[in-house]
Structure 1
Amino acid sequence: MAAVGAAPLLPGVLPAAAQAAPSDRPAFPLVQSGTAVDVFVDAADDPAVVRAAGDLVADMERVSGVRPELRQTLPGRAARLVLVGTLGASPVIDRLVAARRLDVSGVKGRWEASVTQVVERPLPGVDRALVIAGSDRRGTIYGVYDTSERIGVSPWYWWADVPVARRDTVTVPAGPLKRYEPSVRYRGIFINDEQNLTTWSRRTQEPDKNIGPETYKRVFELLLRLKANYLWPAMHPYSDFFNKHRENPELADRYGIVVGSSHPEALLRNGVHEWEPWAKEHPAADGTLPLYDYTVNPGVISDYWRARARQNAAYESSWTLGMRGLHDSALETKYATTIPEKVVVMNDIIADQRRILAEEVGQAAEPQIFIPYKEVLELYNAGVQVPDDVTLIWPDDNHGNMRQLPNEAERARAGGNGIYYHLSYWGRPRSYLWLDTTQLSKVWQELRRVYEHGVDRMWIFNVGDIKSIETGLSFSLDMAWDVDRWDADADEDTEDFLAEWAGRQFGHRHGREIAAIRTEYYRLAAERRPEFIDRAMFSVVHHGDEAGRRLAAYARLLDRARALGAKLPEAYRDAYYELVEYPVHGAYLMNLKYYWADRNALAVRQGRGAGTNRFADLAEAAHAEEAAITKRYNTEIAGGKWDGIVNPYPSQIPKAPGRPSVTRVPRQETSGLGVVAEGNETGADRPLSFSSYTRDRRFVDVFNTGFLNLDWTAEASHPWVRLSATDGSLTEQTRVWVEIDWARVPEGTLEATVAFTGAGRRVEVPLRVVNDGERARRRARGFVEAHGYVSIDAAHFDHRVARGGARWRVVRGLGRRTGAVETVPSTAAPITGDFAGRAAELRYRVRLNSTGAFRITVFRLPSLDERGHRRVAVALDDQPVTVLSGQAVATGNRGDAWARNVEEGVEKLTATVTVTAPGEHILRLFMVDPAIAVDQIVIDTGGLPATYLAPPESFHPVSNPDPRSPAGLDVPER
């Protein structure tokens, strides 16, 4: 049985799982009446356990202000005592087990399991003891830190400044509480692209080092508190390599952390730092430096690997096999140019490395891992022979989509399977290192999928600089501990995790609100990560100002985050800023400055005067504010503790958004009327469209072509046309909103105008109004066509049919809207032949007024499968089914389909459906391949403009009865 990943929530609160046996015994007081219970750990126990017991002592003091004694000899007399020990290493614990005083069933002999239980009269002279016993050294350590969290010390107390609430009385339940084996054996992080962490470490931790032992002490403790056990240390030129400071591997062993190395760092060697000095010490016969090419210098390279194997043989390590080039580059093979030739070379490399490990490390050389990353995956699929006891580590595509999963033969391997998964990334097509922006629902979906494919030996997460991946890292490691903890079928989702996790950091009463804030933050990032923002991404003229509506959602979210932050006690403000407010504010400003820059560029094309410069000012002000809040994080939060840890634009990041350019126009002592209606870049040729189903609100921008004051008026041709303003005076611009009074407008298709007058000019804006009447609106079934399209959120189906051992389910919080649908189980067989009779199906009612052949677009999440297909199928009514094939292979090239898909977070699959008669129809969506996730579906019946996002969802009497979306940002006026 897997253990609970999230652990207890608040002091004295047990986890929401069955590991805690019911007990009517009184809670165990750790601190009471100014006295703390001493903690005993046998000196013969593992040093990592002894060290962790010291942390428990410190945590008890953090909570109570009273420091207990850490004892390594038993007291002659004690009313209460905490006993910490490992089965087989602590004589005291072993005696309790032998006497059947401590229940270790399901714990003894297991991997990293533990039991926490109160035992009455455990020893002569001791009345009562809280016993924390582990199956092995890390099992005991996790039991210790579990107790710390139960009394109110967050794993993030140091790394995110989560305060520890002070209490005079500190108790824990009597238990027993068992933590069984974790779902995944090795669980850890890769500190990667660590420029900010290096800057911070040098400024605040170790002025003479670029990430050294003092920093790694903090990292090791955090990992253990998060129930992790594994680390790939920082590797790049701007940090010191791990083994440069010999205290580092010694410390890791003393903490109980398994140290490995990343895909280009074979046998714990850091090629970026170590190869060149080694090469200088071992020059070729002609005095030249040997190349890092196994086809040229196998002997020198083999000796290079052997030296590290010998040096670190005594430590608990993970050994990476295979080879890539230096600086995380592709494999260099001068004398092997074809794929088959390179396969032979890779086989020779692995055999050589295995021989080295057998000779230098022996049986302790485990786990051994092989990581088919980028070009190495191509070689693996072409025939690289990986020994059966080596763990295959499957990488994602660097953007959270697993590239390939093990087949049946690979699942049967003795070495098992693992994953290397990115929560942070440097490279093509764009980097995301600044903020935690991967939707937790996406992480959940992908990790569930890999686990269902038997990938349970090792999960390693790329976390960049650690800050600000706190939330995503906590969730990922919770899943690695208990993959079944969050279950969409049990009506649990990642927002429940967020509420629980935030409750542990800030108190239960705030958990749900923080969860809602983070969920919306992730949703907006799913539309486009803030690190991926660029010019002209979102439309500022269509769908009520698509970009403006997005920015309005960000603004509302920031207001919400600030309002909650203001309610928190002062002690929580720093942690809240780091974990909640700064990510929201930073993402908002990154989007905002590009929004105003786009408005500035459009204003130039429209011939605006003073307003053009106003947009330029707003763009630059947003950039300045972004710099200001980042400076606050680095120099003011937590007293300047995090100096250098946050920087949206480290010098090493390629294609960071940066500061958008803007244009200013020279002042002219004139004024003139300009009018542009929604849907038009200039002028008002495209009519404003209104439907009685969607009850839209449309905008008209009224602006000054000069710099002198301009008076203007507006007049509607019909009394049922309502305007937000009918006159005014401006030097820049204003936005007038146009709506229809549906209680007064006649039924039918109507034409109207709004006339704007000023500076001797008159401009008429045409309106097209379609009113089917209130009765038709009430009787409508399904999604109704309007404005030349039907837009559907895929989670809003009318009916679903399970077939062939598969079904569709809703995953809330996934995709660009409130949820997406996916086919499960991920191991289901693909469907061939009769889709309508054999495939799991979703049905959507649609009412179409138009007839003809129309383009349908299915927005699917860009999952991968380099061995198979990513297919889904659609049909209208009983017409023939059309199979849509998605991108299967991650090429890594900029500008191709894969690059576009990961930047946008969706892949748009298109087909054609034919409508022969207006009226109600059934749109059918079929599973072809398992694990396909669909976000939205759009049918273009004519006139749908090209925009980044899908249009707002169409009217549906149940799913979307009031489709009027909030307005975008109004134009600020001086």
Structure 2
Amino acid sequence: MAAVGVAPLLPGMLPAAAHAAASSDGPGFPLVQDGTAAAVFVDAADDPAVIRAAGDLQADVERVSGVRPLLLHALPERAAGLVLVGTLGSSPVIDRLVAQGRLDVSRVRGRWEASVTQVVDRPAPGVDRALVIAGSDRRGTVYGVYDTSERIGVSPWYWWADVPVEHEDTVTVPAGPFKRYEPSVRYRGVFINDEQNMTTWSHRTQEPDKNIGPETYKRVFELLLRLKANYLWPAMHPYSDFFNKYRENPELADRYGIVVGSSHPEALLRNGVHEWDPWAQEHPNADGSLPVYDYTVNPGVISDYWRARARENAAYESSWTLGMRGLHDTALETKYATTIPEKVVVMNNIIADQRRILTEEVGAAVEPQIFIPYKEVLDLYNAGVQVPDDVTLIWPDDNHGNMRQLPTEGERARSGGNGIYYHLSYWGRPRSYLWLDTTQLAKVWQELRRVHEHGVDRMWIFNVGDLKSIENGLSFCMDMAWDVDRRGADKIEDFMAEWAGRQFGHRHRREIAAIRTEYYRLAAERRPEFIDRDVFSVIHHGDEGGRRMAAYDRLVERAQAVGAQLPETYRDAFYELVEYPVHGAYLMNLKYYWADRNALAARQGRGAGTNRFADLALAAHTDEQALTARYNTEVAGGKWDGFINPYPSQIPKAPGRPSVTRVTRQETSGLDVAAEGNETGADRPLSFSSYTRDRRFLDVFNSGFLPVTWAAEANRPWVRLSSAGGTISEQVRLWVEIDWDRVPEGTYDATVTVSGADRRVEVPLRVVNDGERARRRARGFVEAGGYVSIDARHADRKVARGGCRWRTVRGLGRRGGAMEAVPSMAAPITEHFATGAPELSYRVRFTSTGTFPVTVFRLPSLDERGHRRLALALDDHPVTVLSGQAVATGNRGDAWARNVEEGIEKLTATVTVDTPGEHVVRLFMVDPAIAVDQLVIDTGGLPATYLAPPESYHPVFNPDPATATGLDAPDQ
């Protein structure tokens, strides 16, 4: 079989027309045929990065075919086929083909990291045919090489995620020409950060490395290049070795073609955590004391410290971070500057000093130089720090995926341009998320799309933590960084399908993409790293926590079903990329769900059932530990020993084993009941509506340890019970439903009676049946159960106005899609909403009247220079403007912390319903780029829960709510 033409599915390989072009003119080029491989030629005078990448192509062809091609530095006298690899201006044979007009380099020559791959007949004397891979510069050539590797079936993740390479006896690629045009973002890379797990793994497995050394970085560099990245901030923390400890590291990076920079607290490539104390000891003060890392106290010593590294690394392609923060990612220390204006002066002096050092040691026009206004430095920048025009401003997010600030028109015009520092992983307040890839790709798309529209295209750096577990998210970010226009708001799941297809084959790609989409949605409700006690209700809305666990349970089953159908060679990769994240997130949530049920059972006075929930919580924790142990000790033969750990010791507030309560066994029994919506008893009636066709639960439980016999019956023939009784030693969940075909129209009270152990408990029911005809004729969302709950994307009408509109971003938010106001750079609209602002309108049928609170669930995006506002109205009533949180504080317990933990911000207003019947809830854009997830109207008695209640009945969008909400919570 032949591996031909998978290029259309490779992100970054066939982007939009502005970035690439390809055709398949002429027969394909055989890299391997009849047991013989075409040799790979690269001129010995070409850049070392190109020569090294040509060696990787040699190895990749062997991975696919088992046949290793020759790697040549001189043209053969005779060859039927040859792969010619080279950089324009550095490869005479390729330059000759260009001069002869036989290799089309239009829109490639002179561009940044561009390339062309094309078959050329008789490219040199004695060579019949050649596959030419030519780059505009050294990385352009390298990317062209890796494009070819990926086209023949070698995933960028072949080593880092153990993605197998399918064997092919005949390996053929299309004739081309294929062009990779310039990327959307010039510098694209990662920050390896909070790297405790990678350090442990590197120490155990990557000889002769100790704590992340050259052998590990070789693997990192290769992965970055295969992902079409070019930039790295290396590991920085005390438990890893700092990058420049090994002097071969910067040389290796340059030989691979990787630009190495340093993070916000590491000025001029200096790692303060490791390097300052030894430097201070070597350069003591006159009195013998050690200098402190404070520029207002020791400017000379600190300047010499920076200069030494600039001199050491002057020969390498590097990125130079300007400015200053404290050691080990702490705030700037300024003993003799206490006010903001004084600190601004100090920062300006620091930058001027660093610029002088770079000019003297590296060169007058060295680039890129970057300034990162991270945390407290952003306040200083906004207060007047003067950053030279040719320095790139790197705008940080709030550490949770929400951009804090974007450039003004003047900042966009700077010659140094703008970049971002964006977190896919984070250690710090209010909670850390280092374990799994849990940021929705749709959220990443929304934020990256917005920053690029604001002219931020010079550098994108992504904090990826330990690197592993971020495979999907990192691939997506690099895909966007190369071609930000390639995918629209409704095509994000397509990326996951393409990506899954390249890792596991096309048969299961759509199902794997759907699994990942649901996995991200559940994480958007609450990251598994953020789970805690008493987050999700276990008594309201059909057991909110239980419904969530049921969704996770279905997801695990789907993932395991796909894994069971894959060939054995794919099992390790599937475990790493799909099964472990899904199953691990499930178990992390499950143990806290059972712990919450245990705490409730203890409050209710349950006997054996209390202990049963304690056992289930601890069993889930044990299962999660075993799942992780399998990753570290069994997958890929134990290759990832020590890499995966949900609880590295440095993580603050990491969820671990939840505490549980146990009760001492007593030889007693007793019967009690807790109805849905009630911690104990049944004071809150169970409500049923013919629109939502709910089912509700009763927990029938034993207050002792000896078995007890119980029975249940309803006083209406149309009330259906999941059980009529039996014997319980712990508890049973009894489901109550209504037979809507038998119940007459009208409002009725009913009773379910549970009896046993000389006890009788009556549970009241309220049943409202408006009839099937009314159900069919309803034109919008229908109030029931004391609320109206609406998914924002389910608007009955969307109106674009003033050049702005609401668009659906699929896969964004808690409900599978959210509405975003675009374009992101539009001017705010603060008046004349009905004629000037884009609108979402929702028909609602109210059965109640009064003034009701409305909660709008929006994604907690930020803009510290502006606002996050929208407007709400009922019918033609006056409009209320709602304002969102504008500032990231970094403080635990405040509004920003709550918003990023929950993944939403709740904006509230009221509407007044004067008459029952149909009305229209209207939502208007005020500020652009705001995204809305859900709306909830409380018409009386809506309980406070973490999630919004299940979506209300709508004849088009939600005609069968009982099915749509999946009310199959665990019955334990």
Q: TM-score range by the shorter chain?
A: over 0.9
Quick check: 1:772 aligned with 2:770?
A: yes
Distance (Å, rounded) in 2 between the aligned partners of 1:871 and 1:7? 43
Give the structure 2 partner of residue 142 of structure 1: 143
**Residue 848 (1) aligns with residue 846 (2):** yes
Q: Deviations for 1:86-124, whole angstroms, at most 9, x for unmatched residues? A: 000111110110011100000000000000000001111
SS at 2:840 equivalent: strand
Give yes or no for contact 1:783–1:845 (8 Å, CA) kept in 2. Answer: yes
> What code does the residue aligned with 2:266 have?
E
Which amino acid in 2 is paired with 1:970? P
After superposing the two structures, state which structure 1 stretch, 677-686 or 828-837, moved more. Answer: 828-837
Map Cα deviations across residues 206-247 of structure 1 (whole Å, 9 max, x no partner): 355200000000000000000000000000000000000001
Report the equivalent of 1:294. Answer: 295
What is residue 932 of structure 1 aligned with on the other side?
930
- C-alpha distance in 1, partners of 2:666/2:174? 77
Letter in 1 for 2:111: R
Task: State the match for 2:831 in structure 1.
Answer: 833
Query: Is 1:541–1:679's contact at 8 Å kept on the other side of the alignment?
Result: yes
Amino acid at match of 1:383: G
Which secondary structure state, in structure 1, belongs to the residue aligned with residue 394 of structure 2? strand
Once the two structures are superposed, the pairs formed by residues 672-691 of structure 1 within 5 Å of their partners are: 672-691=670-689
1:694 is matched with which residue?
692
Counterpart in the other structure of 2:91: 90
1:949 corresponds to which residue? 947
Matches within 5 A, 1:180-195: 180-195=181-196
Task: Work out the CA distance in 1 between the residues paired with 2:966 and 2:604.
Answer: 25
* Partner residue in 1 for 2:178: 177
Q: Which residue of 2 aligns with 1:403?
A: 404
1:888 alignment counterpart: 886
Q: Could you give the per-residue CA deviations for residues 783-811 of structure 1, whole angstroms, max 9, x where no partner exists?
A: 00000100000000011111121100000
2:859 counterpart letter in structure 1: L
Indicate if the aligned counterparts of 1:790 and 1:940 stay in contact, CA closer than 8 A: yes
TM-fit CA distance, 1:363: 3.7
How many angstroms apart in 2 are the aligned matches of 1:855 and 1:427?
35
1:937 Cα offset (Å): 0.2
Residue identity opposite 2:43 in structure 1: D
Tell me, yes or no, if the aligned pair for 1:8 and 1:150 is still in contact at 8 Å: no
SS in 2 for 1:285: coil
Equivalent AA in structure 2 for residue 495 of structure 1? E
Distance 1:885 1:14 in 2: 42
Q: Which residue of 1 aligns with 2:621?
A: 623
Say whether 1:713 aligns with 2:711.
yes
Q: Deviations over 1:603-627 (max 9, x none)?
A: 0000000000000000000000000
Does the residue aligned with 1:327 lie in a helix, a strand or coil?
coil
Deviates more, 1:520-529 or 1:799-808: 799-808
**Match in the other structure for 1:3:** none
SS in 1 for 2:324: coil
Establish whether residue 969 from structure 1 lines up as the match of residue 963 from structure 2. Answer: no
Specify the code of the residue in structure 2 equivalent to 1:40: F
After superposition, what is the alpha-carbon deviation per residue over 1:160-215, rounded to whole angstroms, capped at 9, x for unaligned?
Answer: 00000000000000000000000000000000000000000010003552000000
Asked whether the equivalents of residues 606 and 702 of structure 2 are also in contact (C-alpha less than 8 Å), the reply is yes
Distance 1:881 1:969 in 2: 40
Letter in 2 for 1:967: L
Decide whether the 8 Å contact of 1:394 with 1:404 is kept in 2.
yes
Residue identity matched to 1:126: V
Q: Deviations over 1:943-967 (max 9, x none)?
A: 1000000000000000000001222
Q: 1:320 to 1:374 in 2, by over 3 A?
A: same
Would the aligned equivalents of 2:208 and 2:215 in 1 still touch at CA under 8 Å?
no
Please give the per-residue CA displacement for 1:445-493, whole angstroms capped at 9, x wherever unaligned: 00000000000000000000000000000000000000011112xxx42
Identity of counterpart residues, as a percentage?
84
Map residues 303-322 of structure 1 onto 2, 5 A cutoff: 303-322=304-323
- After superposition, give the CA deviation of every residue in 1:836-883 in whole Å (9 maximum; x if it has no partner): 221111111001111111000000000000000000110000000000
Once residues 961 and 779 of structure 2 are traced to their aligned partners in structure 1, the CA distance between those partners, rounded to angstroms, is: 15
1:72 aligns to 2:46 (yes or no): no
Q: Which amino acid aligns with 1:723?
A: L
RMSD: 1.1
| SS of structure 2 residue aligned to 1:858 | strand
The letter for the 2-side match of 1:340 is: P
Q: Output aligned runs, 1:320-399, within 5 Å.
A: 320-363=321-364, 365-399=366-400
Equivalence map 1:540-939=2 (5 Å): 540-939=538-937
Contact 1:420 1:462 in 2 (8 A): yes
**3-state DSSP class of the match of 2:617?**
helix
- Measured after TM superposition, the shift of residue 7 of structure 1 is 5.3
One-letter code of the match for 1:307?
Answer: A
Match of 1:504 in 2: 502
- Tell me what 2:251 maps to: 250
Q: Secondary structure at the match of 1:219?
A: helix
2:511 maps to 513
Q: Which amino acid aligns with 1:733?
A: Q
- Contact 1:395-1:421 at 8 Å conserved across structures: yes
| Conservation of the 8 A alpha-carbon contact between 2:10 and 2:498 | no
Distance (whole Å) between structure 2 residues aligned to residue 727 and residue 629 of structure 1: 38
1:9 is aligned to: 9
Distance in structure 1 (CA, Å) of the matches to 2:918 and 2:499:
46
Does the CA contact (< 8 Å) of 1:14 and 1:20 recur in 2?
no
Q: Per-residue displacement from partner, 1:337-356 (whole Å, max 9, x unpaired)?
A: 00000000000000000000
User: In 2, Cα distance between the equivalents of 1:14 and 1:950?
Assistant: 41
- Contact 2:15/2:483 (8 A) holds in 1: no
TM-score by length of 2: 0.98
Q: Which amino acid aligns with 2:390?
A: D
Question: Does the aligned pair in 2 maintain the 1:791–1:954 contact within 8 Å?
Answer: yes
Displacement after TM superposition at 1:10 (Å): 7.9
| In 1: Cα distance, 2:788 partner to 2:661 partner | 38
Offset of residue 285 of structure 1: 1.1
1:966 is aligned with what amino acid? Answer: G
SS of residue paired to 1:138: helix
Displacement of 1:23? 3.5
Q: 1:415 to 1:896 in 2, by over 3 A?
A: same
- Asked if 1 retains the 8 angstrom alpha-carbon contact of 2:16 and 2:485, the reply is no
> Which 5+ residue runs of structure 2 have no aligned equivalent?
1-5
The answer to whether the 8 A contact 1:546-1:968 is kept is no
Q: Does 1:281 align with 2:279?
A: no
Inter-partner Cα distance in structure 2 for 1:892 and 1:17: 39
Q: Distance in 2 between matches of 1:504 and 1:246?
A: 37
Deviation at 1:60, TM superposition (A): 0.2
1:566–1:242 distance in 2 versus 1, CA, 3 Å: same
**3-state SS of 1:328 partner:** coil
2:229 maps to 1:231:
no
Q: Secondary structure at the match of 1:617?
A: helix
- Distance in 2 (CA, whole Å) between partners of 1:454 and 1:191 is 26
- Per-residue CA deviations over 1:766-825 (Å, capped at 9, x if unaligned) read 000011111100100110000010000000001111112110000000000010000011
Match of 1:572, SS state, is helix
Query: Is the 1:606–1:681 Cα contact (8 Å) retained in structure 2?
Result: yes
Query: CA 1:116–1:889 in 2, change beyond 3 Å: closer, same or farther?
Result: same
Q: Which amino acid aligns with 1:830?
A: P
* Cα distance, 1:746 vs structure 2: 1.3
How far apart are the structure 2 equivalents of 1:833 and 1:481?
39
- Residue in 2 that maps onto 1:487: 488
Offset of residue 968 of structure 1: 3.7
Take 2:971 and 2:605, find their aligned partners in 1: how far apart are those partners? Answer: 16
**In 2, Cα distance between equivalents of 1:187 and 1:962:** 46
